[in-house]
Every structure is written in C-alpha cells, then in structure tokens.
Amino acid sequence: MPHQSITVAGVDVFPLCDAVGPMGASIRRPLPEMFPGGCHGESDEWILHFHCYLLRDAAGRTVLVDTGIGPEDSPAASWAPVPGVLGAELARVGVSPEEVDAVVITHLHSDHASGAVIGGTPVFANARHVFQRAEIDAAAEDVLGNVVRPLGERVQVVDGQADVLPGIRVFHTPGHTPGHQVVQVGDLVLTGDVVLHPAQLADPKVPYLYDDDPELATATRMELLERVRAARGMIATAHFAEPFTVLSPA
Ligand SMILES: [Zn+2]
Ligand SMILES: [Zn+2]
C-alpha cells in the first residue's frame, strides 16, 4: 500500500517508495554486523524500504528529496533488491518529472542519486539539483561522470545551511558521507542516511557498517536526534518501513 502524505508548516510531504527488499548478497551482512552494538535478538534479515520524498509548498512549488535506485542498469543494481519505481510513485502523486522545481540529493550513494540521470540524460530537466560542496569534492570519478557532470548548469552547490525554497532548508550533516545533507521543513527533518535503522533511535551511538566516518556519523546523529527530540519533532527516513517517526524527548 502506498505510504500516506502529511502536511507540515504548509508543505505537503509525499513519501515515494522507490523499492522494498533486502540488500543484495554482495554487501549484505547479518544485522548485528551492520549495526554493531544494536539489533540484538532480532531477525538477521533487514528488509529495507528505499524512500524519496516530494515536498510541495503552498505556492505549488516542488522539491524532490533523493532520486532513488534508478533503472535496471543503475550502479545500484549490484546490490539493490530491485530497480526503482520513483517515476511511477511521482505519477501516483500527480507530479511529472518536468514539474519538479528542485532536487536535493542527500548524498551520492547509488540508492539516493541514481534516478537523477538516466542514459546520460537529466530526468528532472527543469530542476536545479542541490549538493553540498563537500559531497562533490569527495565524489569518485565515476559518480561525477554519471550523475554530476550530465546535470550541467542544473547543479547548485551549497556550503552548509541553505534555503532551497522559503521554509525548506538543507543542513550539512557529515559522517555517513563527507557531504551528507538533511532537509528540514517546520519540525520535520528528512534524515537521509543519518539514521538507517530503528536500532539507532533506541541508541544513537550504534554505528552503521557502511558509514564513511563512523565517529563523525555518530556525533552528527546524536546532535540531530537530540535537536529533533527537544522540539518534539518528526523524522522522515530513507530506509525505515514507515516513512515518518515522531520523536519525543528522551
Ligand atoms: Zn516504503
Ligand atoms: Zn548512504
């Protein structure tokens, strides 16, 4: 069943479920190895959802947060469970790719960035694509060639905090990758891969095997979750089964 939308601070937030399934064998590990110190006594199988989000403000302007796994020949195909269905999910909420005004890519991992350019052609032709400078600076050559360069003048590089639209803001949240960013609207934070599994809500000190810099990722996660909890806010996650999680003060 499709995930339901919510409205926060006058902005409609539509979860787009790009895929559901376990990671492929090439990188799959038992959960206690993926999240050392967390996930004890649970099933070892992690069934991920892959969520992108479409934000639509009161003026009808749209921001797409992340672009998913991409098609069958995507770089994510080596490990993602299935090809992504972002296009169909966007159509379900009544938005065509040409109508997207801005794209925020939380980070350049292949399950977040591979729907932006397909067959060398930008999918969201009229959108600027917002990246943190640190993410571009750290990107591998193949990622620059497959994702960033084909976007040409659509690339918008920001340093740290920046407004994508009034009331829709990105923040630099390094650790999972050097230039990871999250998106905040009202008291909702779209967390990308700052938080990957509910075990990291129970204990934010639990690292993730594939964090680029686990110590920095943990510090970022703790600070962000504490800030959201203090505001009794909500997070919208990329890989939880349910898109939205309300946080209350610990
Ligand atoms: Zn989902
Ligand atoms: Zn990632």
> Separation of 4 CA from ligand 1 center, angstroms?
10
> Separation of 244 CA from ligand 2 center, angstroms?
18
For the record, the structure tokens of 209 come out as 């095997």
> What percentage of the chain reaches a pLDDT higher than 70?
98
Q: Counting ligands in written order, which one lies closest to the CA of residue 4?
A: 1
The parent domain of residue 141 ranges over: 6-246
Distance CA 209, CA 36 (A): 8
Domain count, the chain: 1
Residues 6+ apart with CB under 8 A from 38: 31, 32, 197, 199, 200, 202, 203, 206
Looking at residue 64, its pLDDT comes to: 98
> Separation of 92 CA from ligand 1 center, angstroms?
14
Distance CA 162, CA 66 (A): 17
> Separation of 1 CA from ligand 1 center, angstroms?
9
- pLDDT tens digit string along 210-225? 999 999 999 999 999 9
Q: Counting ligands in written order, which one lies closest to the CA of residue 2?
A: 1
Does the pLDDT at position 68 exceed 70?
Answer: yes
Residue 31: give its domain's CATH number: 3.60.15.10
CB distance 173 to 182 below 8 Å: yes
Kindly write down the DSSP assignment for every residue of 10-36, as one continuous string: TEEEEEEEEEEEEPPTTT---HHHHST
Q: Counting ligands in written order, which one lies closest to the CA of residue 107?
A: 2
Looking at residue 85, its pLDDT comes to: 97
> Separation of 59 CA from ligand 2 center, angstroms?
31
> Separation of 19 CA from ligand 2 center, angstroms?
15
> Separation of 141 CA from ligand 2 center, angstroms?
17
Task: Decide if 68 is inside a domain.
Answer: yes
Looking at residue 32, its pLDDT comes to: 86
For the record, the structure tokens of 207 come out as 């690292």
Mean of all residue pLDDT scores within the chain: 95
Task: Decide if 172 is inside a domain.
Answer: yes
Task: Decide if 1 is inside a domain.
Answer: no
- pTM of structure: 0.97
Q: Counting ligands in written order, which one lies closest to the CA of residue 196?
A: 2
Looking at residue 44, its pLDDT comes to: 74
> Separation of 58 CA from ligand 2 center, angstroms?
30
Task: Decide if 58 is inside a domain.
Answer: yes
Q: What is the 3-state secondary structure (H, E, C) of 187-244?
A: CEEEEECCCCCCHHHHCCCCCCCCCCCHHHHHHHHHHHHHHHHHCCCEEEECCCCCCE
